Amino acid sequence: MVCGQENASVFVSGEGGYHTYRIPALIASDAGTLLAFCEGRKTSPSDAGDIDLLLKRSTDNGVTWSEQQVVYEEGGDAKITIGNPCPVAGAEGVVHLLFTRDNARVFYVASRDDGATWSTPREITAVFAGFDFPWTRVGTGPGHGLRLSSGRLLVPLWLNERTGQNYRSAVLYSDDDGVSWQAGGLLGPEVADTNECMAVELPGGAVYLNMRAQKAPFRVVAGSTDRGETWSVPVPDQGLPGPVCQASVLRVGGRVFFANPTGPGRTNLAIKMSDDGAQTWRQLEMLHEGPSAYSDLALSPDGNLLCLYEGGTNKPYEAIRISRIALRE
The pLDDT tens digits for 47-72 are: 999 999 999 999 999 999 999 999 99
**DSSP structure class, residue 189:** S
Provide the pLDDT confidence category of residue 329 given band limits of 50, 70 and 90.
low
Provide the pLDDT confidence category of residue 95 given band limits of 50, 70 and 90.
very high
Distance CA 127, CA 182 (A): 6
Give how far Cα 152 sits from Cα of 6, 75, 251, Å: 33, 34, 17
Give how far Cα 174 sits from Cα of 2, 43, 84, 236, Å: 35, 36, 19, 28
Query: 211 with 219: CB under 8 angstroms?
Result: yes
Burial call 159-168: b when 16+ CB within 10 Å, e when fewer: bbeeeeebbb
With a cut of 50, say whether residue 2 has pLDDT above it: no
Our CA angle for 151, 189, 223, nearest 5°, is: 35
Q: What is the mean pLDDT of the chain?
A: 95
- Averaged pLDDT for residues 29-42: 96
Distance CA 40, CA 70 (A): 9
With a cut of 80, say whether residue 157 has pLDDT above it: yes
Domain ranges of the chain: 2-325
Provide the pLDDT confidence category of residue 165 given band limits of 50, 70 and 90.
confident
Q: What is the strand order of the sheet 194-201 is part of?
A: 194-201, 207-213, 218-224, 235-241
Provide the pLDDT confidence category of residue 328 given band limits of 50, 70 and 90.
confident
Q: Is the CA virtual torsion 101, 130, 158, 225 positive or negative? A: negative
Whether residue 291 is preceded by a cis peptide bond, meaning omega within 30 degrees of 0, is no
pTM of the model: 0.96
pLDDT for 6 equals 61
Number of helices and strands in the chain (H, E) = 0, 26
Query: By CB neighbour count within 10 A (0-12 exposed, 13-18 middle, 19+ buried), where does 329 fall?
Result: exposed
Provide the pLDDT confidence category of residue 96 given band limits of 50, 70 and 90.
very high
**DSSP structure class, residue 60:** S
Catalytic residues, by residue number, are 47, 294, 310
- The strand pairing partners of 199, in sequence order, are 209
**DSSP structure class, residue 165:** T
- Averaged pLDDT for residues 305-311: 97
pLDDT for 1 equals 28
Q: Which fold has domain 2-325?
A: Neuraminidase (2.120.10)
